[in-house]
Amino acid sequence: MSAQYQAVLWNRQKKLYDLTMVGGALLYLALFVTLNLVLRPEATLETVLIRAFGTAALLSLHVVLSIGPLARLDPRFLPLLYNRRHLGVMTFVLGAAHGIFALIQFHVGTGTNPIVSVFVANTRLDSVSQFPFQPLGLFALVVLFLMAVTSHDFWLSQLSAPIWKTLHMLVYVAYGALILHVALGALQLEDDPLLSLLLVVGFGWIFAIHIFAGWRGRRLDREHLSAVKEGYVRVCHPDEIQDDRARIVCLAGERVAIFKYDGKVSAVSNVCQHQNGPLGEGRVVDGCITCPWHGYQYEPETGASPPPFTEKIPTFRVKMIDGDIWLDPKPLPAGSHVAAVSVSDE
């Protein structure tokens, strides 16, 4: 978290992440260009660079889209999610390089504005093999550009979390456009079964892990909590929650995180105010609930971030009845103080 919008504090983890990310991209580009120039001597350097940056961008986008569901399925992937936006910006840079080289090779010098030429050079909408695939790639690049320039928390604050999240969900539209861009472009121009196989496997992988992660979340939402007493709903026994961790339940259509810490329990909304991260998948660190995505923190009893930060989340009343944890399903206003309940109270 940061009190003001300042330059990124480059801690050791960020440096290692970015060095690995950039180093991996450079290594991929070097190997791709070298192997293609050796194995395909008839190809020009410009063509090889177009393919190198294009495949690197598509591969990077697959990694970006994989991190979210993988982090939901296994917390060991959370360090990748912490700086995922850096990888997203690099994906745009790779895609922009691919687009610039393509514009230079195919549209500069035609007597028409290169961008306009992308849309008017081919109008064969009635043909699959000759379909104008380049506008699809340009559309995806525009979406990636919008995501890259709004990746800083300044824009998250200015746009609000729901709008910012909606904008960044367009990455899936961009991904679909890129899949069509490759399928209607490179796969029609070249008879390369390996490229076709990789494209199908990549799409299948993204589809499968998102469905599986969504199924896991849907199963949580369908968990039925039927026992009701004095307006409270039974959640679980304290022993079912690990120390400094949470149990996530769904009540009245809202996910609630019940944290156990220092022999007490508190309940708050499961949604982090930063990027709607799942607070219940985080833990209590130094007395504060810490979001597993980007480290935003909230006090368990108030749902408020410690000073000087101002983020707040709704809280819920909790009781101990007959040794079990019971929860009032009605949320209190964000930042409302609710005294923690000892797990020995009845």
Q: Is 147 left (phi over 0), alpha (psi -120 to 50) or beta?
A: alpha
pLDDT tens digit string along 246-289? 999 888 678 899 999 999 999 999 999 887 888 988 889 989 99
Query: Stretch 189-208: mean pLDDT, rounded?
Result: 88
pLDDT of residue 5: 36
* 165 vs 142, higher pLDDT: 142
Structure pTM? 0.77
Confidence of residue 219 (pLDDT cuts 50, 70, 90): low
pLDDT of residue 52: 96
pLDDT of residue 10: 58
Query: Stretch 112-128: mean pLDDT, rounded?
Result: 87
Winning range, highest mean pLDDT, from 92-101, 128-137, 286-295: 92-101
Contact 277, 291 (CB under 8 A): yes
Residue 239 sits at the vertex; the CA angle it makes with 232 and 278, to the nearest 5 degrees, is: 70
> Taking 50 as the threshold, does the pLDDT of residue 6 lie above it?
no
What is the CATH number assigned to the segment(s) 228-342?
Answer: 2.102.10.10
Domain boundaries, the chain: 12-220, 228-342
Q: Are strands 341-342 and 228-229 parallel, antiparallel or unpaired?
A: unpaired
> Taking 50 as the threshold, does the pLDDT of residue 161 lie above it?
yes
Lowest mean pLDDT among 29-33, 128-132, 201-205, 314-318: 128-132
Share of the chain above pLDDT 70, in %: 92
> Taking 50 as the threshold, does the pLDDT of residue 1 lie above it?
no
pLDDT of residue 310: 86
Confidence of residue 227 (pLDDT cuts 50, 70, 90): low
DSSP secondary structure, 4-35, as one string: S-------HHHHHHHHHHHHHHHHHHHHHHHH
